[in-house]
Amino acid sequence: DQQVKQNSPSLSVQEGRISILNCDYTNSMFDYFLWYKKYPAEGPTFLISISSIKDKNEDGRFTVFLNKSAKHLSLHIVPSQPGDSAVYFCAASNNNNDMRFGAGTRLTVKP
């Protein structure tokens, strides 16, 4: 079941510009959302999270926005750097801790 969807399999941006990765979810019981970054041949690494009581969380160049009414969240990376090139997974969880991941978006940042 696709409770968490990342509809863009890939995204390419120029170095220094903004990268916007999108994620939609269907289960209104989800109340904790996370973004993970994955390089080839490595496990995913936690990037940033947001709980449903907030609509924005910022950590350096990374900001996650949550729109609960639209069941949509997005990750903004500003400015984008070539080292940000990776696959980004959106994940959602509820108090049962049944965490669901999206299919991922491959970000390529061109120098």
Partner 1 sequence: DSGVTQTPKHLITATGQRVTLRCSPRSGDLSVYWYQQSLDQGLQFLIQYYNGEERAKGNILERFSAQQFPDLHSELNLSSLELGDSALYFCASSVAPYNEQFFGPGTRLTVL
- Chain contacts with partner 1 (rule: CB under 8 A): 4, 6, 32, 34, 36, 41-46, 49, 89, 91, 93, 95-104
Output the smallest distance, CB 82 to partner 1, in A: 23
Structure tokens given for 110: 């061109």
**Comparison of 38 and 79: residue with beta carbon closer to partner 1:** 38
Residue labelled with tokens 């696959």? 87
Shortest spacing between CB 111 and partner 1, in angstroms: 26
Neighbours of 69 (CB within 10 A): 5
Question: Within 13 Å, how many C-alpha atoms sit on residue 18's CB side?
Answer: 9
Nearer to partner 1, 69 or 96 (CB): 96
